[in-house]
Amino acid sequence: MPDNNSIIKYPDMALIKQKLYKSGIKDLSAKILSALSSLPIDNSIKSEETVAVAVGSRNISKINGILYYCLNFLKTKGLKPFIIPAMGSHGDAASDGQRSVLAKLGITESAMGVPVVSDMDVECINEVPKGPKIYISKAALKADHIVIINRIKNHTKFRADIESGLCKMLSIGLGKAKGAAEFHQCAIKNSFRIIEDAAKVIINKCNILFGIALLEDGFGDLAHAEAILPSSIIEREKILLKDAAAMMGHIPFDLLDILIIDYIGKNISGIGMDSNITGRHRDILGDFYTAPHVKRIFIRELSPDSDGNGHGIGLADFTTKRLVHALNFKKTYTNAITAISPEKAAIPIYFDTDSESFEACSKTIGLNSMEEARIVRIKDTATLELLQVSKTLLPDILSNPNLKQITEWTPFQFDNNGNLLELSSFPSVHSKRL
């Protein structure tokens, strides 16, 4: 354990504000109706036909409103829409669990005015050459049409022309637990680039009516909604992924000694902390390290809204006993094994207090003086407007027009229990989305 009697002089810290991309949509109803009305689908539909509208488990900005207006649009066309969960094995890989996940997003039969058909039954419709069998929800296949709604963003696990979005929902989300397991296993050999190949097969084989692609800004708010015909989904998603990457927030420094993250959790990122933000990822498909190139990551807490799921904690170097005690090991391990990522559930070195954990960080970064340390503290990887930084980063702040120092430099402080003082200027973690 770190020597509590040793005296380490830490650098002064200050809060800075980062200018993030912001593009709010004021009239959601008008935006969705405009996007859908532009689609030439009248010749593809008949009155009274059924439509399976697929939505996932992520708490996407305004997802319940987007879904509601989409359902109303379909009703005005004389169609009979219903909702199906398209979330692979999420919700404990159970029909009731997936229904519960949707309910937490405000998506219920009473709120949406249509049935929610949640079951785990799937059918194999084809297979990717030298790749996985393709499974699709039987409920979706029985419908006359399928609509998919999802956010386009960089994935935390891999890099490709297509990552998280409509194609992934088609190939993995609609495959329920069986399809997701098949796909993840095959991805070890073939990589997740087979998402595009699978999406091509599904689009050719199934009656996809359209997709709605969503983008979020640097604050996690809805920035763009676009309705896309099936023939254009793949190529359009490639373009939108680049747009999404340009909109997302980031840590505006490189070569950090210590990154302190107050909270990780499933309500923040699928792996607790977004590797696109931390720059660190460990996986059987390959590790990667990108900016901000952090020597040590210290995680303080598990978000209460993560329901004990600490998937992603294995990406940290140090944590606290209180985070470990907050873990639901069954949920955490199930998530990690399903995702073929047991390393992300590995428990790092942990201590009773923040001060002990931070001291361990300070002794493993190769500096003679901690006053030289380049330190950043964030609330979570979805909250990046405000950051607490060490004084060593002052030259970087002054040279970046998107950064503004908003507090004076003050000593790095712990409370009487040896834990970091809470930063009241940070937004509440409970408001964060996946």
pLDDT tens profile 255-307? 999 999 999 998 899 899 999 999 998 888 777 778 899 999 999 999 998 88
Question: Would you state the pLDDT for residue 287?
Answer: 72
CA distance 240 to 226: 10
Does any domain span residue 416?
yes
Same domain for 376 and 238, yes or no, is no
Number of domains in the chain: 2
Does any domain span residue 8?
no
Provide the 3-class DSSP secondary structure of residue 137.
Answer: strand
CA distance 114 to 82: 5
CA distance 34 to 12: 51
Q: What is the mean pLDDT of residues 12-25?
A: 92
Confidence of residue 229 (pLDDT cuts 50, 70, 90): very high
Does any domain span residue 176?
yes
Question: Would you state the pLDDT for residue 433?
Answer: 40
Q: How many CB atoms lie within 10 A of CB 1?
A: 9
Question: Would you state the pLDDT for residue 431?
Answer: 42
CA distance 277 to 248: 9
CA distance 349 to 333: 18
Confidence of residue 429 (pLDDT cuts 50, 70, 90): very low
Token readout for 326 is 């907050």
The pTM of this model reads 0.89
Looking up tokens 């047991």 gives 342
Q: How many CB atoms lie within 10 A of CB 207?
A: 16
Please, where are the H alpha helices in 77-215? 95-104, 109-112, 138-142, 166-171, 176-190, 194-205
Same domain for 272 and 175, yes or no, is no
**pLDDT digits over 136-149, tens only?**
999 999 999 999 99
Domain boundary among 219, 247, 275: 247
Does any domain span residue 6?
no
Domain boundary among 198, 228, 247: 247
Ramachandran region, residue 220 (left: φ > 0; alpha: ψ -120 to 50; beta: rest): left
Please, where are the H alpha helices in 261-367? 275-278, 321-325, 329-338, 354-362
Q: What is the mean pLDDT of residues 316-329?
A: 98
Question: Would you state the pLDDT for residue 21?
Answer: 93
Question: What is the Cβ-side half-sphere exposure of residue 55, based on CA atoms within 13 angstroms?
Answer: 32
DSSP β-bridge partners for residue 289: 280
CATH number for the domain spanning 174: value is 3.40.50.11440
CA distance 114 to 224: 25
DSSP 90-121: TTTTSHHHHHHHHHHTT--HHHHSS-B-----
Same domain for 179 and 301, yes or no, is no
Cα–Cα distances in Å, from 161 out to 39, 99, 182, 241?
25, 31, 21, 8
Residues 359 and 414: beta-carbon distance below 8 Å: no
Cα–Cα distances in Å, from 96 out to 92, 113, 257, 320?
9, 19, 45, 33
Q: Is the preceding peptide bond at 292 cis, omega within 30 degrees of 0? A: yes
Does any domain span residue 95?
yes
Instruction: Give the structural domain span for 319.
Output: 13-20+250-431
Same domain for 186 and 109, yes or no, is yes
Same domain for 185 and 268, yes or no, is no
